[in-house]
Amino acid sequence: EAQVTQNPRYLITVTGKKLTVTCSQNMNHEYMSWYRQDPGLGLRQIYYSMNVEVTDKGDVPEGYKVSRKEKRNFPLILESPSPNQTSLYFCASSTTPFDRASYGYTFGSGTRLTVV
Amino acid sequence: AQKVTQAQTEISVVEKEDVTLDCVYETRDTTYYLFWYKQPPSGELVFLIRRNSFDEQNEISGRYSWNFQKSTSSFNFTITASQVVDSAVYFCALSEGGSGNTGKLIFGQGTTLQVKP
């Protein structure tokens, strides 16, 4: 089954304790991205990756890191989480935006993160 | 600038009623993509439809239909004979497809649909 797998689904952590949210896709997609969803602010892009070893900042990258060492994985790293990073996070993958025939996003199930 | 506006914050209907969710977008690109996603109470984002800017054909899928009008920059979503299971937050989103674009999805604020039995 074609899917994007995020883990964990729920996470409660303390301020300053490094954490990683994993994201893996099995569709051989080149493009992957992270979004966060907050009440009143909607969904906003954190980071994206056009291909392996190519990553760039989205609209709200502060406090986050990513890496794209292999095509299928795109982990989101919070080196020192703070309460304002409490949010619902989504990983997404797609073919490239230039592939008109098949362009479309598949989202993971989401990770609900609480930083206390 | 890119922007997606879903003016209806919340809509409440009684089961079997038809309901239309509005979406208005702004973009300077001639090539772009429009999407609708459903977010049920469980939280995941479920893909409903993608429409390309060069294809204005309307689409029907069961009880769902979409009306894409470039002249008014709108991509409205209609649910016919609504059901309780349609209760969710619905997002309209835009992605520009021109050269140099980043593939970013611009989401509207979402419309919360409540279907009462």
Q: Is A42–B107 a contact, with Cβ atoms under 8 angstroms apart? A: yes
Which whole-number Å values give the CA distances from B66 to A40, A74, B60, in the listed order? 26, 33, 7
Q: Show the tokens assigned to A21.
A: 């949210």
pLDDT in tens, A59-100: 999 999 999 999 999 999 999 999 999 999 999 998 876 666
Given this model, what pLDDT does residue A72 score? 96
A35 touches chain B (CB under 8 A): yes
Residue of B nearest to A109 (CA): B44
Give B18 to chain A, closest Cα distance, Å. 26
Give A97 to chain B, closest Cα distance, Å. 6
Q: Which run of H or E residues covers position A88?
A: strand A87-94
Burial class of B54 by CB neighbour count within 10 A (0 to 12, 13 to 18, 19+)? exposed
Which whole-number Å values give the CA distances from B42 to A73, A88, B46, B50, B89, in the listed order? 24, 12, 11, 22, 11
Q: Which run of H or E residues covers position A87?
A: strand A87-94
Residue of A nearest to B47 (CA): A106
Are the beta carbons of A76 and A89 closer than 8 angstroms? yes
Among A103, A111, A112, A114, most B C-beta atoms within 10 A, so best to mutate, is A103
Given this model, what pLDDT does residue A98 score? 63
pLDDT in tens, B31-43: 889 999 999 999 9
Confidence of residue A2 (pLDDT cuts 50, 70, 90): confident
Stretches in chain B below the pLDDT threshold 50: none
Give A3 to chain B, closest Cα distance, Å. 12
Q: Show the tokens assigned to B86.
A: 């349609």
Provide φ and ψ at A14, rounded to 5°.
-105, 155
Contacts of B95 in chain A (CB under 8 A): 97, 103
User: Does the pLDDT value for residue A102 go beyond 80?
Assistant: no
Which whole-number Å values give the CA distances from A22 to A3, A12, A64, A72, in the listed order? 14, 15, 13, 11
Q: Is B104–A109 a contact, with Cβ atoms under 8 angstroms apart? A: no
A61 touches chain B (CB under 8 A): no
Give A49 to chain B, closest Cα distance, Å. 9
